[in-house]
Amino acid sequence: DDGRARDDDDDDYEEEVEHNLHHVMASPTAQMEALVAALQDPDTRENALLDLSKKRDMFADLAPTLWFSFGVVPALLQEIVAIYPLLNPPSLTNHASNRVCNALALLQCVASHPDTRGLFLAAHIPLFLYPFLNTVSKTRPFEYLRLTSLGVIGALVKMDDTEVINFLLSTEIIPLCLRTMELGSELSKTVATFIVQKILSDEVGLSYICATAERCYAVGTVLGGMVTQLAEQPSVRLLKHIIRCYLRLSDNPRARECLRQCFPDQLRDPAFTAYLKDDVATQKWLPPPLM
């Protein structure tokens, strides 16, 4: 019966979207607006989330349309809040993870767009994602959820906007990223390290992290731990971001002092860095400014 009801819902969804698209199939804008409208109805939302997340690169104005369409952002937040009870004890299924990650993909569009990024921050939307970054389960549904959530934050910091950095530093993003850098998969570690790197690249971010010896040590210790792990499981992509973090920290006197005590020996070892031999740019960052 449940299966038949689901099929009926899918048929209804397809009929509604077909009806909306029938006379405008040649118009991407009308197609986008019909799919966004389908987000407003709980019965058609799941399929609309899937379609929009797959086709989001086709629609240049998707972010403003999502943000300014009545009821759409609350619907996306409803998708996020609905899985909070599945976080602890960990009971997130692949299906539930995929569904909420489709919603997160749409929020990433909003975070990336210059017309909606400030509004996204002013509404404190990133805070809704932090419970996902606090999870520790290493199952695929949780790992995918953390990675997609980090992608939203990564989209924000990619813009090199001090307003973004100020907002993130007013939250718990640094400890959450450090946690992922310690416990996550290689891909999640890479995105989390990229976020820390972009925060450090801003003067406000560097000053914040280097304001106390404790913060410097916290970041330096996690970076060093990742380098040690890379000795067993090399990743050029991750190592690049780690080296950029070290290089930026070396611009600050307090951080340099901290790094003298926790800088990993592996980065002084030519045998360890040999797998960077084909990456001339990263090799140039390695020596001596740090020590």
Read off the pLDDT of residues 19-71 as tens digits, 9 standing for 90 and up: 665 554 558 899 999 999 999 999 999 999 999 999 999 999 999 999 999 99
Q: Are 234 and 282 in contact (CB under 8 A)?
A: no
Write down the H helix ranges in 83-139: 94-112, 117-122, 130-133
pLDDT tens readout for residues 100-145 = 999 999 999 999 999 999 999 999 999 999 999 999 999 999 999 9
Q: Which two tokens stand for residue 18?
A: 């077909």
Q: Which residue has the tokens 């009801």?
A: 5
Beta carbons of 258 and 220 less than 8 angstroms apart: yes
| Cβ(120)–Cβ(76) below 8 Å | no
Return the pLDDT at 225. Answer: 96
Quote the CA–CA distance of 258 and 275 in Å, as a whole number: 27
Read off the pLDDT of each residue in 266-282 and give the average, rounded to a whole number. 75
- Give the model's pLDDT for residue 212: 94
CB distance 249 to 210 below 8 Å? yes
Give, in order, the Cα–Cα distances in Å from 105 to each of 17, 108, 130: 21, 5, 15
- Whether 90 and 134 have beta carbons less than 8 Å apart is answered as no
Q: Which of 238, 237, 262 has its CA nearest to residue 249?
A: 262
Whole-prediction pTM value?
0.88
Nearest to 226 by CA among 158, 260, 272: 272
Burial (CB count <10 Å: 0-12, 13-18, 19+), residue 264? buried
Q: Phi and psi at residue 63, in whole multiples of 5°?
A: -60, -50
Neighbour tally for 12: CB within 10 Å: 14
38 touches 16 (CB < 8 A): yes
Cα–Cα distance measured from residue 17 to residue 273, given in angstroms and rounded to the nearest whole number: 54
Average pLDDT, the chain: 90
Question: Under 8 Å CB-to-CB from 10, ≥6 apart: which residues?
Answer: 47
Tens of pLDDT, residues 176-207: 999 999 999 999 999 999 999 999 999 999 99
